[in-house]
Amino acid sequence: MSIITVQIGQCGNQIGEKLFDTIISDSLEFKPNKNQTNLNYYKTLNENYVEDCKERFFSYCDNSYRQDKLYARSILVDMESKVVGKLLNQESNYIFRSSNSYTQKKGSGNNWSYGYCINAPKSSQKIEDIIRKETERCDRLSSFLICMSMAGGTGSGVGSYYTEFLRDNYPRTSLVNTCVWPFSTGEVILQNYNFLLTLNKLYENSDAIILLENDILHQICKRLSPHKEITFDDLNRIIGHKLASILQPCLGDGQQNNYLNQVITDLCSHNDYKLLSLNNVPIMSQQSIDYSTFKWNSLYKNARQLLYTGGYMDEGLKWGLDGVSNKTLALSLFARGLNDSDFEHTDLVNGFFDKTYMNKHFSTKAFGGLWPCPLKLWQQSRPFNNYEKSLSLLSNSQLPAFKIDMLIEKAWKMFSSKAYLHQYIRYKGFKEENLLNAFIFTEKLVKNYKNL
Amino acid sequence: MSQIQVKQIISSFCKILEYFNFSKITPEDLRLAKFNKPNAAPKMWKLLFELVNYLKTRNKLDNQLISNEFDSLGPEKVVKFLKEELLKLGYSCDDFFKLKSSFDENDTSSREILISIGWLISSYEIIKLFIANSNSLLDEEYFKENALMAMNLSEVKKEVDISKSHIMSSSSKDLYIYLNNLKLFDGTFKNNLNSLHSCLSEKVSLTHKVHSETSGSFSCLELHLLKNPDQIEKYEKILEKKIEVQNNFLLWIKNEEPFWTWMESVLDEKISENELNLINSDEVNTESFDYLFAQVLNENVNKAKKVECEFDKNVKKLEDLQHDIKSKIYSDKQQELDRQQLTSLKHFEKEIIQKFQNILLDDNLGYSKCNNRSISDTFEPRLNYIQNKSTNDSQKIKNMTNITEINRKLDEKVKCLENIFDKLKQTATTKCEQISSELEDCYVVYNE
């Protein structure tokens, strides 16, 4: 079961790089604890884990030359050649196939319309070939993971185009978009328009949208290293960690594998609700991990608090009971690391997410109660990415909708004075109505979530 | 025809039965049954029981399960069950239905059962059925055909019930919630179908890999065995068994004749014995064939009438309800249907359709399915033949008239039942169509 990552735009490519870096370092550079008992068991556990991981994310060379090398199952698309070129040239434990990349000279100028209407159709013939070849390398394709930003022109415009493209050409394969939400202070002047147009297109075609906010990532980095200047590289590293923590092998009840399409089935089966937030407990800097010990008890406690207060990290968590209450439709928990007590994970989950908690925070008016299976637990006793124990929460909840609401307001102010609109209409195939429809659609989406 | 040949064909028949998980039976048992020897009866009853069950399920028998069922039912119920089932299958030999229901050591009913077994094998072509079902682990189709059967049906049903209750419980409150839940399940189904599809394409691509790597000379199973030599022995055994049964099939197809001549000799045995016992044959049998048949038929006719009556009532009720709702909608200018009314209407509609389907699927009404004519064609001459030989003239005439009388009555009843059945089916289909079209009108009104 494999996942093909489609990296679109500068941001998408950088995220993809960090994702594969995390996966490969987590898989290959694992050293079991020295005072570990039962070493043989962990050895086979680790071997299976690495084997599974390779099958998911990497393929081998087609011909005999360099057969031992791992090739990322990844497709690199950018309208400029700088970032992709750098990725192709790096020497690491794995390689991006140069035949899997598409670049050209002229970027999309931060304009969704230019990316969607001009750049993307121009490249579609070549990219179709690339995608087809890559899918043929997989015995079984679970899903496409599309990495993109929502601010720039290439990520948002070309990304929207290819999400639509993949949906048309691979209707039976699930599509998951990982979208980076721009800084609210603004990286690009057109970002709010771009955001709405992208969200509209993705909602039509994608199965799930994982939203990652630069604002929050920045705050996390700030806490991890308060005295350092924070770069995009740091933010992307966090994203890589987050994504890998849900994509690496894990088992559900009945030895079910956490293939991405399976995870998505649990979380986003309803068409109107497919915004996902991704949180991790704990998040720490590399230095402090070595000096910390964790208890599952406290991790679950933090996770549960994090979920309903809508926080982003276990440090500085709000413990008050009032304030915003975040309704969640469905949650997938990924528990990685050794069990430390007599309690099984299922007991812990049932203890912390008990009936009253579920009824308060998972039960919705729109569905007349809980979803059929609102909470899913995935387990893996092999530790992940140097964390002795870690917990990831992938949830379909109200929180993103509130933020989108604020963004709509800003964008509407611009739109009502028709600011920058000519930049979009310039390109053939884009009309003012498109943007207006995106507004209407997004407002409906927000309303759906708010009325839960 | 030599004696050895008969023995050979009978023993191959026994082996075929054994391959299909029937309880072990030997040619000697059959021989004992032919001469009505004691001890043979229980085995014959069991064989008949298993055959009937096999015919019902068309699947490899689970020997343990059948044995348990056989033991737990007890002689009386087993015999009653078999009599009823054979009746439904179209068996009409009077003597069989007169048999006592016990597995007594000294019971001398085994020949009669053997005859019925012979009839079952010939008229339902059981050996052909066996041949059609003789897939084993070695065949590629085996998994395809057995996948559904291996699935735990009760578990699936439970799952479906849970989903159903989830949708239904919310539906009673609010249409919006109902729709939301439906959409949710729709999404889940879609996703699950997609992952099934991906499994299938994986299988195809892996099979392709196997064939292209071995340039098509190995099947997946062969490659699997090459990789796991320790399993070869297991498959060898399966293969040997399969070859054996195929040989037996072959033998049967070529030399079916002696078996049937032997069966005829069983019949002759019965006739000659009947002549001997003629003098003290004035026993009164309550549970004879015509009595049983008539009883079951009567039951069915009554049942059909009752169902028809109930159906009429229900339709009337439904029409009234519809009329009510329609008039209310038009008179109130409300343009909206009461939520409760709509659900009750739908519920009612479903209930009726369900009831009707139950009738259609009812096993006991399956008489019309089995061909009455062929039964009389195949067996009556033999019966007559027996009667001819066994009785003096006056009794013979009496019997003949009796048989024709019974046949006439039965034909009448069957026809009557079929008529009712057809009529019911027709009216129901038209009613259902009418109702659903009219209901659609109502829904439209509601939606507006």
Task: Residue A383: give its domain's CATH number.
Answer: 3.30.1330.20
Q: Is A93 helix (H, G, I), strand (E, B) or coil?
A: coil
* Chain A residue whose CA is closest to B160: A372
Last residue of a domain, one of A214, A248, A277: A277
User: A169 to chain B, minimum CA–CA distance in Å?
Assistant: 14
Label residue B373 by pLDDT band (50, 70, 90).
Answer: very low
Say how far residue A95 (Cα) sits from the centre of its chain.
22
> Min CA distance, A172 vs chain B (Å)?
5
Query: Please, is A78 exposed, middle or buried when counting C-beta atoms within 10 Å of its C-beta (0-12, 13-18, 19+)?
Result: buried
Burial of B427 (0-12, 13-18, 19+ CB in 10 A): middle
Nearest by Cα to A5 from A238, A293, A210, A224: A210
Residues near B419 by Cβ (< 8 Å), separated by ≥ 6? none
Mean pLDDT of A272-284: 91
Half-sphere exposure of B85 (CA within 13 A, CB side): 18
Chain-chain contact of A172 with B173 (C-beta, under 8 angstroms): no
Averaged pLDDT for residues A71-81:
92
Examine the domain organization and report whether A49 and A98 are in the same domain: yes
Strand ranges inside B197-297, DSSP E = none
* B12, B252 contact by CB (below 8 A): yes
Beta bridge partners of A101: A76
Distance from CA of B183 to the nearest CA of A (A): 6
A267/A339 same-domain check: no
Beta-bridge mates of residue A149: A180
With CB atoms and an 8 Å threshold, state whether B195 touches A270.
Answer: no
For A330, the closest chain B residue by CA position comes to B184
pLDDT tens per residue, range A214-258: 999 999 999 888 888 989 999 999 999 999 999 999 998 878 888
- Alpha-carbon dihedral sign for residues A342, A345, A347, A349: positive
Q: What is the ipTM of this complex?
A: 0.88
How far is residue B445 from each of residues A332, B33, B154, B281, B334, measured CA to CA in Å? 42, 72, 40, 75, 10
pLDDT for A165 equals 95
Q: Give the side-chain half-sphere CA count within 13 A for B108.
A: 5
- Give the chain A residue whose CA is nearest to the CA of B171: A368
Which of A253, A277, A301 is at the close of a domain? A277
A311 and A265 in one domain? no
Single out the residue of A256, A264, A244, A3 nearest to residue A138, CA to CA: A3
pLDDT at res. B284: 44
Chain A positions contacting chain B at CB under 8 Å are 1, 139-142, 172-174, 207, 259, 261-262, 264-265, 268-272, 365-369, 371-372
Say whether both A135 and A120 belong to one domain. Answer: yes
Distances (CA, A) of B211 to A61, B215, B262: 21, 6, 50
Rounded Cα–Cα distance for residues B156 and A72 (Å):
39
* Interface residue B207 vs chain A (CB under 8 A): no
Residues of chain A with C-beta less than 8 angstroms from the C-beta of B166: 372
Instruction: Find the residue in B nearest to A370 (Cα).
Output: B166
- How buried is A347 (Cβ within 10 angstroms: 0-12 exposed, 13-18 middle, 19+ buried)? exposed
H or E segment and range at residue B311: helix B289-332
What are the tens digits of pLDDT across the range B256-300?
888 888 888 888 888 887 777 655 544 444 445 556 666 666 776
pLDDT, position B345: 67
User: Which residue of A172, A271, A368 is in closest CB contact with B177?
Assistant: A368
Which long-range contacts (C-beta less than 8 Å, at least 24 apart) are formed by B73-77? B75/B45, B75/B101, B75/B102, B75/B103, B76/B101, B76/B102
Asked if the Cβ–Cβ distance from B166 to A141 is below 8 Å, we say no
Q: What are phi and psi of A71, to 5 degrees?
A: -110, 130
CATH of the domain at A201: 3.40.50.1440
**Strand ranges across the sheet with A58-59:** A58-59, A70-72, A94-95
**CA-to-CA distance for A402 and A326, rounded, in angstroms?**
10
- What pLDDT does B382 receive? 44
Asked if pLDDT for residue B341 goes beyond 70, the answer is no
Ordered by start, the domain boundaries in chain B are 3-134+255-278
pTM: 0.70
Considering CB atoms only, which of B180, B188, B197 is closest to A172?
B197
Token pair for residue B412?
């009448």
- Indicate if A229 and A121 belong to the same structural domain: yes
Q: Name which residue leads in pLDDT, A91 or A328.
A: A328
Q: Within this chain, do residues A9 and A121 fall inside the same structural domain, yes or no?
A: yes
- Scan for tokens 């008229």, then name that residue: B123
* Residue-number span of the structural domain to which A326 is assigned: 281-398
Give the residue from B198, B203, B206, B207 with the most A CB atoms within 10 Å of its CB, the best one to mutate: B198
CB A244 within 8 A of CB A280: no
- pLDDT at residue B27 greater than cutoff 60: yes
Nearest-CB residue to A269 (from B173, B177, B188): B188
Contacts of B395 (CB under 8 A, 6+ apart): none
H or E segment to which residue A281 belongs: strand A275-281
- % of chain A with per-residue pLDDT over 70: 95
Instruction: Give the integer Cα–Cα distance in Å for B418 and B367.
Output: 9
Q: Are β-strands A74-77 and A141-149 bridged in parallel, bridged antiparallel, or unpaired?
A: unpaired
For residues A31 and A127, membership in a common domain is answered with yes
The residue count for chain B: 448
CB contact under 8 A, A172 and B192: no
Q: Are residues A263 and A295 in the same domain?
A: no
Residue B1 has pLDDT above 70, yes or no: no
How many Cα neighbours within 13 Å face the side chain of A247? 31
Q: What tokens were used for A268?
A: 């986003």
Q: What is the pLDDT of residue A4?
A: 95
Average pLDDT over chain B reads 74
pLDDT at A168: 95
Question: A92-101, A396-405, B432-441: which has the minimum mean pLDDT?
Answer: B432-441
Amino acid at site B365: L
Q: Name the pLDDT band for B375 (thresholds 50, 70, 90).
A: very low
Confidence of residue A208 (pLDDT cuts 50, 70, 90): very high
Q: Do residue A304 and residue A212 come from a single domain? A: no
**pLDDT (0 to 100) of residue B374:** 39
- Judgement on whether residues A227 and A104 belong to the same structural domain of the protein: yes
**Mean pLDDT along residues B169-185:** 79
Write out chain A residues lying below 8 Å of B163, CB-based.
372
> Considering only alpha carbons, which residue of chain A is nearest residue B190?
A269
- Put simply, the answer to whether A366 touches B176 (Cβ < 8 Å) is yes
Half-sphere exposure (Cβ direction) of B69: Cα atoms closer than 13 Å: 13
Cβ contact A268–B187 (<8 Å): yes
Question: Same domain, yes or no, for A202 and A325?
Answer: no
The pLDDT tens digits for A296-312 are: 888 898 888 888 888 88
Lowest average pLDDT, out of A9-18, B160-169, B180-189, B271-280, goes to: B271-280
Q: Could you give phi then psi for residue A102, rounded to 5 degrees? A: -135, 125
- Would you call B181 an interface residue with chain A, using a CB distance cutoff of 8 Å? yes
Q: Are residues A377 and A420 in the same domain?
A: no
CB under 8 A, 24+ apart: contacts of B418-426:
B418/B368, B420/B301, B420/B304, B420/B305, B420/B308, B421/B304, B421/B365, B421/B368, B423/B308, B424/B304, B424/B307, B424/B308, B424/B311, B424/B359, B425/B360
Among A254, A277, A300, the domain boundary falls at A277
* Residue B173 in contact with partner chain A when CB distance is under 8 A: yes
Query: Does the structure show a pLDDT above 60 at B446?
Result: no
- The reply to whether residue B199 touches residue A369, judged by beta carbons under 8 angstroms, is no
Check A269 against B195: CB less than 8 A apart: no
Q: How far apart are the first and last CA of chain B?
A: 83
b/e sequence B335-347, b meaning 16+ C-beta within 10 Å:
eebeeebbbebee
CB A452 within 8 A of CB A278: no
Q: How far apart are CA A271 and CA A207, in angstroms?
A: 8
Taking an 8 Å cut-off on Cβ atoms, the answer to whether B169 and A368 are in contact is: yes
Angle, CA of A414, A420 and A422, to the nearest 5°: 130
pLDDT at position B371 is 40
Q: Do B180 and A259 touch (CB under 8 A)?
A: no
Model pLDDT, residue B28: 86
State how far the Cα of B208 lies from the Cα of B206, in Å rounded to an integer: 5
CB contact under 8 A, A140 and B199: yes
The DSSP annotation for B173-187 comes to T-HHHHHHHHHHHHH
Q: Residue B447: pLDDT above 90?
A: no
- A129 min Cα distance to partner chain B (Å): 19
For B61-76, letters b (16+ CB in 10 Å) and e give: beeeebeeebeeeebe
Among the partner-chain residues B170, B180, B201, the one whose CB lies closest to the CB of A270 is B180
Residue with the bigger pLDDT between A45 and B444: it is A45
Percent of chain B scoring above 70 in pLDDT: 65
- Centroid of chain to Cα B82: 13
Token pair recorded at residue B348: 């009612």
Rounded average pLDDT over A156-170: 94
Residue A232: is it exposed, middle or buried by C-beta count within 10 angstroms (0-12/13-18/19+)? middle
Chain-centroid distance of CA B207 in Å reads 37
Rounded to whole angstroms, the Cα distance separating A65 from A61 reads 7
**Interface contact flag, B181 A368, Cβ < 8 Å:** yes
Task: Domain count for chain A, please give it.
Answer: 3
3-state secondary structure of A97: coil
- Residue A209 in this model has a pLDDT that exceeds 90: yes
The residues facing A148 across adjacent strands are A179
Q: Which string of DSSP letters, residue by residue, matches A295-332?
A: -HHHHHHHHHHHHHHT-S-STT----SSS----EEEEE
